[in-house]
Chain A
Amino acid sequence: MPTILRRSSGWPPLHLQELWTYRELLYFLVWRDLKVRYKQTVLGVAWAVLQPLMATIVFSVFFGRLAGIASDGVPYPVFNLAGLVPWGFFAFGLNEAANSVVGSRQLITKVYFPRLAIPLATVLVGLVDLAVGFLLLLTAMILYGITPSVRAFMVLPFILLAFTASLGAGLWLAALNVRYRDVRYVLPFLTQMWLFTTPIVYPSSLVPPAWRTVQGLNPMVGVVDGFRWALFGAQARSSTIAMSTVVALALASGGAFYFRRTERAFADIV
């Protein structure tokens, strides 16, 4: 059965089974990124703790103490950290994925493999930081006298939701970035706007009830609400979470198809 190469047209299939046969490459790409990162940085894995920790300290002083923003009945630092940890994972994945294809031009112009592996690997790398950040969060909770219940395991589906949203947005941006380098300049601005529309420094309960479902259009709202619900029983609306899930899935599947559609030209224009 020969492999036939010809010009593809329209919307090509995702070929996820092919991606699966290249899972070892995916593993090595993740492994490489982790290795290189910890070889080139002095503090290594400590950054995964320092970043959310510093941010929480700053936010706690300015928003928690000085501005006196409510925090769903838990100490503000813990409340804030529960939003920052999944947000950090999302933002890291989004940014790294957006630059991943352009950054791998050397590979793309020389070797064939499913291109989806590139942004996928970069988002997977973030899981390590997320795990470390999550331990920090648990430590902070215990220090503030909050014992997590069995429900804490319910963060897992929300991690999956954050992963889907991050990969989805990342795929769009990665593919657009190949053709339009404007993406590089849009990215910091986009991340910042996204941060403010996500309830990280403020609780979702600050949003008028009528708008709560619409708020879920930002998939990270569902993630952060879900985290706070799972960890300390903060109020979360199922309609918001459902909305976020639908949006994340749409973003990811749309992103994957758009990526596949444009990837045929990557090697020619990157």
Chain B
Amino acid sequence: MSTHAIRLIGVGKSYRRGTRRQGYETLREAVTDWMRGLTARSDRLREQSDGLFWALQDVSMDVPCGSALGMIGANGAGKSTLLKILSRVTEPTTGEVHLNGRVGSLLEVGTGFHPELTGRENVMLNGAILGMKRAEVLSKFDAIVDFAETAAFIDTPVKHYSSGMYLRLAFAVAAHLEPEILLVDEVLAVGDAAFQKRCLGRMNDVAREGRTVIFVSHNLDAIRRLCSHAVMLERGHVVTFGATADVIARYLSTDYQRPAPATRIDVSTQPRIGTGAARFVSVCYCATASSAGGQPYSSGPLTIVVEIESDRAREVRSMAVFLTDQFGTKVINADTVHINQTVSLDAGRNVFRFAIHAIHLMPGFYRVGLWLADPVHTHSPSAAYDFVESAFELEVTRDESRSGAGTGALVPCDFDVEALK
């Protein structure tokens, strides 16, 4: 018996440039291409080799049985493509993949859920789609419903579910898959904190049961807790592969722009995920509400002005600015969904100001991310309008008015000391 669950040998995947966006060609194009090909064959050949886009190139690695491997990298680094190859959704263009054992993939929760069917029916259907036997689903049915906490609504069509319930049920089915190799992509990017924690716990169990887990996430904290090994991809290549802490350190040492406060920061070309129907164009930050304010400081205010371009007027329930620390942990998340505020976007340019009254952060560098989505039925970041994981980096300085106070803790706090008799 081999000790490798997965072995990748020189795996590459190319797409014809344009096909990913365009989706399909028309018969007319095929016919005209073919006729042009008859007369100018060399032209077409050149066009073909130029039009190739390598999403993944020469990836080789061995994943030992029973290990949990985290996969990190900026958007477009090839993480999803690699998962698609491993889950057999698409074929590699070059190289070989050896898989020892049944593969269960969780590239998206709720794949194949049908809104008209009840929770019970969807559990059965989704189980079959994920490769479970009917008997297997039936034997785990109660555990699935318990995990999802949807017992009361199990015979209600899922179109009447809240997005949280829908998500919990979908994850619950997948969490009870028992393949030797489990592939997970970004599932934890959604759901409330308690549920995310439970999902992480469940995946931890899976890894401890001796099964192999490959986990793709932008949540470095989750990767650190869950994975012994990690791999970092950049533009389709493996950059580092090894112990999680080292890989994460390497990932975080990548240079980011650190623009000065009160300057317009163009983010239109930053790597991002989302439909792009509405997207962030530029950002500006400063310490005070007046645009002339300076460097943000510990426990001081932070103002962030975002410029959004929308293709048409729309209501958006979740517009957020978040800060992550050097370990990739989200430390601040100013999301309109948490204050129940719906944002109305006009077609064209929109400008909003986030006024955070106090940032209780230690001095240091923080990355700023941007998020724009309508949370109802948005179960994956790719369904969001726009998601810029890290737009730029800003520095939080020491609060000069309180100088002298020693730090030595992660988060500052306001406190008094009083002598008691």
Contact = CB atoms under 8 A, between A and B. Distances in A.
A269 B16 CA distance: 10
Contacts of B121: 32, 35
Interface string B123-167: 011001111011000000000000000000000010000000000
B92 A110 contact: no
B90 A111 contact: no
A182 B26 contact: yes
Given A5-B96, A36-B117, 17 more contacts: A2-B2, A2-B99, A2-B100, A4-B98, A5-B98, A6-B97, A7-B93, A31-B125, A32-B114, A36-B116, A39-B157, A106-B112, A180-B27, A181-B26, A264-B90, A267-B84, A268-B19
Interface of B is mostly: mixed
Given A32-B114, A35-B117, A36-B114, A4 B128 contact: no
Contacts of B105: 110-112
A269 B19 contact: yes
A178 B125 CA distance: 24
A269 B124 contact: no
Contact of A181 (B24, B98, B107, B124): B24
B30 A113 contact: no
Given A5-B97, A5-B99, A112-B88, A270 B23 contact: yes
Nearest to B108: A110
Nearest to A33: B114
B20 to A, nearest CB: 7
A192 interface: no
Given A106-B111, A268-B15, A32 B92 contact: no
Contacts of A24: 128, 133-134
Interface string B31-47: 00000000000000000
A109 interface: yes
A128 B266 CA distance: 59
Given A24-B128, A28-B124, A110-B108, A264 B24 contact: no
B369 interface: no
B420 interface: no
Contacts of B88: 5, 112
B26 A28 contact: no
B95 interface: yes
B130 A111 contact: yes
Interface string A224-247: 000000000000000000000000
B27 A108 contact: no
A111 B27 contact: no
Contact of A4 (B97, B112, B114, B124): B97
B87 interface: yes
Given A110-B105, A110-B107, A178-B24, A5 B112 contact: no
A5 B89 contact: no
A112 B89 contact: yes
A95 to B, nearest CB: 19
B171 to A, nearest CB: 14
A65 interface: no
A111 B112 contact: yes
B104 to A, nearest CB: 10
